A and B are shown apart, each in its own frame.
Chain A
């Protein structure tokens, strides 16, 4: 056990270093975006003087290294800054920046909660379905069922997300009005309320269609990969049923690649679902991110990037650790 704790500690440290490197990349990349907030907000009326004034007020005229270190220092303390748009308006309205109208944190928090809810719901539907289908397609490999499942899931992953979304809306909201097509959840709905659940169901189903193929096919491939192993032959020669051979003998040894692909898809669910959010008007973090890029609201963009990176790192870290735990050689050293 001590060995595993050590590995976990090492991976965590490595994750932190990765996050630090990513923060530099984010900062550089965001600053490389053409145009800046001052020009974007002033539009046609951007005279050099007014641009310079806004830049000075927001501190954009200082050297990038200073700005980076300041941002990083604040971020470590949990302060992701003030959205530039808010800062500007508050400056004109005469009140203190950030008071009342909100910091980046306050802007992102409810959106992020929504995103996590949607990702969690999608995963809760997609992961069990994919793994079960993966096991079944491995069991009945090369049968009509296997082919049909592969065709279905591959078509769904190959279609654009908005297309899948509209098809689901057509069948589940328009032709058979079972579910609402508008996912306008808001802060008043509690996290566990059925209203929130029902409203989130359509986007969650869309995302399920998107991520199932990947996970199902990896489960199938990982299991089939092991079927030529001597211990699988042994299990067959002990007279075990095909289902038992796969679930009891192949699956435990196929867990590592499956866990990894699940983690990758969960990360996708948190970071890559902006199209689905737009179609269903779901107030997730993806929409906020795109809007902020549009107006060059750098603190918000940076904060979103940092959250996405952290989610990726954390999920991959979890996958690594779970893969290690699933390996009896590491769990029970000699």
Chain B
């Protein structure tokens, strides 16, 4: 067999923090043959993206390669001059970034960005590469391939941009493409389309690829072989089917097992019980445009209602209506059978106390300048009127409740905590008001799977102990399966279907629910191929949504 296309040996990379260099990759080897797809998986901080970029001979600011070698087709990338590397990048090695919306230059049309690499690298003329771009757009099944390139990035949707970026990476027919979490920011239905498009085009042009992701089910569809990373070290590498069926390392097994958490079924709600929260025929608008249409559902005591749907379906807007941040145009909200003032400014302290929120980005939801004690102490004082010793005692109890050692954490700043710990602080802050009802807005979607599982278990424990009700906003159906008692499916600001979880996961479904459910990637490496065969190529993702 010929030499591998990419050959990385004992790669060591360091990152700078506070003027000192700390290792982030501790000697990783990697081989990739022509036409082969390697999946790099691991949690955040495992060094996946850093290795992906290093395979291009590139490091971000504040990061340096401190040892080892990177060879691309026999060229030593670490020793090569900047000019030599520039000659390879874009032409023979291309990159597809996580957020296409941020990685396309907002000032230029898609096609101008598409043709930049071929014209600058003297691969083809502009008119040739425009033609080629349109052809690639067509192959990637973008709508209106003839004119979509002449739009600016902000005029094109996220899933379409991601495909346009894949087309751009293909513009010089590179030997190697690095895909850095290309579908992480997308909805499940859109993700399928992008995955299918990427897989097709990589196969057609026999391009080698490094596919970086934290989603095991996704990597199972895309990769020929998988390498698992943990904190800058390789855990194991094997071909996809072996890795899925027989992982050898404990860490890999624990990753595989994450999706097994599921709460036991609760007894059905008494039909006579007054719901804790009732959303009654709510229609709401931003400006003059209605974004919610006649939304109604109930949340009963001690139960979790998952609200699922894609971005823009009105999940968070419903939450804003319940909390009074966005007064509904028509309809009203009841807490415990009592109609609430629509605007939060008109609610009294006790009414405000009853509904609390936990946010998606714990990073931005916690004041970075306040200590944990102050952050949790604020609602304790505001709602409960506790001061001094009593307040501190209550804060300590709350910290114990969220399983963080009080004395150790009470004086820290949010920046000294990990993502999962910050999210726990968010939970404690919500609990401080002693609410009956908490809205959890995508609380686990920014977290790694193991950490997310910990948060879900904590929320379940708190529900059992305190009898809380949750409205759980999410787009991740695995989370729904794990924690929900009831499910509300939303699309375009309307409730499409609602009911008990068990019933929702059993056919027959509303067609949209069916589409959502079937779009969630499964660990079976043949899942995507089977699904595409079932649906037919013109009926996947966005196309299928549009037909409804």
How far apart sit A248 and B103, CA to CA, in the bound complex (Å)? 15
Partner of A328, one of B53, B56, B89, B107: B107
A77 within 8 Å of B by Cβ? no
Decide yes or no: A239 and B155 within 8 Å by CB, A231-B105, A244-B120, A328-B107 being known contacts: no
Chain B, 285-318, contact with A by CB distance < 8 Å: what is the 0/1 string? 0000000000000000000000000000000000
- Given the complex, which residues of B lie within 8 Å of A237, measured CB to CB? 53, 56, 58, 89-90, 94-95
Q: Are B90 and A334 in contact (CB under 8 A)?
A: no
Q: Are A238 and B90 in contact (CB under 8 A)?
A: yes
**Nearest opposing residue in chain A for B121, CB measure:** A239
Q: Are A332 and B105 in contact (CB under 8 A)?
A: no
Chain B, 89-122, contact with A by CB distance < 8 Å: what is the 0/1 string? 1110011010100111111100000001100110
> Closest CB-CB distance, B345 to chain A, in whole Å?
30
- Given the complex, which residues of B lie within 8 Å of A240, measured CB to CB? 86, 90, 116, 120
Q: Are B154 and A239 in contact (CB under 8 A)?
A: no
Q: Are B97 and A234 in contact (CB under 8 A)?
A: yes
> Closest CB-CB distance, B110 to chain A, in whole Å?
12
B256 within 8 Å of A by Cβ? no
How far apart sit A144 and B85, CA to CA, in the bound complex (Å)? 25
How far apart sit A228 and B62, CA to CA, in the bound complex (Å)? 12
> Closest CB-CB distance, A224 to chain B, in whole Å?
11
How far apart sit A241 and B120, CA to CA, in the bound complex (Å)? 9
Chain A, 224-248, contact with B by CB distance < 8 Å: what is the 0/1 string? 0000111101111111110010001
How far apart sit A329 and B106, CA to CA, in the bound complex (Å)? 8
Q: Which of A92-137 contact B (CB under 8 A)?
A: none
- Given the complex, which residues of B lie within 8 Å of A235, measured CB to CB? 105, 116
B60 within 8 Å of A by Cβ? yes
Chain A, 197-230, contact with B by CB distance < 8 Å: what is the 0/1 string? 0000000000000000000000000000000111
- Given the complex, which residues of B lie within 8 Å of A244, measured CB to CB? 120
> Closest CB-CB distance, B169 to chain A, in whole Å?
9
Most B-side CB within 10 Å, residue of A228, A235, A239, A241? A239
Partner of A334, one of B53, B94, B117, B155: B155
Q: Are A231 and B103 in contact (CB under 8 A)?
A: yes
B88 within 8 Å of A by Cβ? yes
A interface size (C-beta, 8 A): 22
How far apart sit A240 and B86, CA to CA, in the bound complex (Å)? 7
How far apart sit A283 and B94, CA to CA, in the bound complex (Å)? 62
- Given the complex, which residues of A lie within 8 Å of B91, measured CB to CB? 239
Q: Are B106 and A231 in contact (CB under 8 A)?
A: yes
A153 within 8 Å of B by Cβ? no
Q: Which of B22-68 contact A (CB under 8 A)?
A: 53, 56, 58, 60-61
A249 within 8 Å of B by Cβ? yes
- Given the complex, which residues of B lie within 8 Å of A249, measured CB to CB? 105, 107
**Nearest opposing residue in chain B for A326, CB measure:** B107
- Given the complex, which residues of A lie within 8 Å of B61, measured CB to CB? 228
Q: Are B95 and A239 in contact (CB under 8 A)?
A: no
How far apart sit A249 and B120, CA to CA, in the bound complex (Å)? 14
Q: Are B152 and A328 in contact (CB under 8 A)?
A: yes
- Given the complex, which residues of B lie within 8 Å of A328, measured CB to CB? 106-107, 152, 154
How far apart sit A230 and B154, CA to CA, in the bound complex (Å)? 15
Q: Are B117 and A239 in contact (CB under 8 A)?
A: yes
B87 within 8 Å of A by Cβ? yes
- Given the complex, which residues of A lie within 8 Å of B94, measured CB to CB? 237-238
**Nearest opposing residue in chain B for A240, CB measure:** B120
A252 within 8 Å of B by Cβ? yes
> Closest CB-CB distance, B473 to chain A, in whole Å?
26
How far apart sit A248 and B86, CA to CA, in the bound complex (Å)? 16
How far apart sit A196 and B99, CA to CA, in the bound complex (Å)? 56
**Nearest opposing residue in chain A for B165, CB measure:** A234
**Nearest opposing residue in chain A for B99, CB measure:** A230
A253 within 8 Å of B by Cβ? yes
Q: Are B85 and A239 in contact (CB under 8 A)?
A: yes
**Nearest opposing residue in chain B for A226, CB measure:** B105
Q: Are B86 and A230 in contact (CB under 8 A)?
A: no
Q: Are A253 and B106 in contact (CB under 8 A)?
A: yes
How far apart sit A238 and B117, CA to CA, in the bound complex (Å)? 6
**Nearest opposing residue in chain A for B82, CB measure:** A242
- Given the complex, which residues of A lie within 8 Å of B102, measured CB to CB? 229-231
How far apart sit A265 and B55, CA to CA, in the bound complex (Å)? 47
> Closest CB-CB distance, B248 to chain A, in whole Å?
35
How far apart sit A248 and B61, CA to CA, in the bound complex (Å)? 21
How far apart sit A248 and B108, CA to CA, in the bound complex (Å)? 9
- Given the complex, which residues of A lie within 8 Å of B154, measured CB to CB? 328-329, 332, 334
**Nearest opposing residue in chain B for A228, CB measure:** B61
How far apart sit A228 and B85, CA to CA, in the bound complex (Å)? 20
- Given the complex, which residues of A lie within 8 Å of B104, measured CB to CB? 231, 234
- Given the complex, which residues of B lie within 8 Å of A230, measured CB to CB? 97, 99, 102-103
Q: Are A234 and B106 in contact (CB under 8 A)?
A: no
New A-B contacts (14) at CB < 8 Å, excluding given A238-B90, A244-B120: A231-B103, A234-B95, A235-B116, A237-B58, A237-B95, A238-B94, A238-B116, A239-B85, A239-B87, A240-B86, A240-B90, A253-B106, A253-B107, A332-B151
What would be 7 A-B contacts, judged by CB atoms less than 8 Å apart? A231-B102, A231-B104, A234-B105, A238-B117, A252-B108, A253-B106, A329-B154
Please give me the 3 A-B residue pairs with the lowest Cβ-Cβ distance, nearest first. Answer: A239-B89, A238-B90, A252-B107
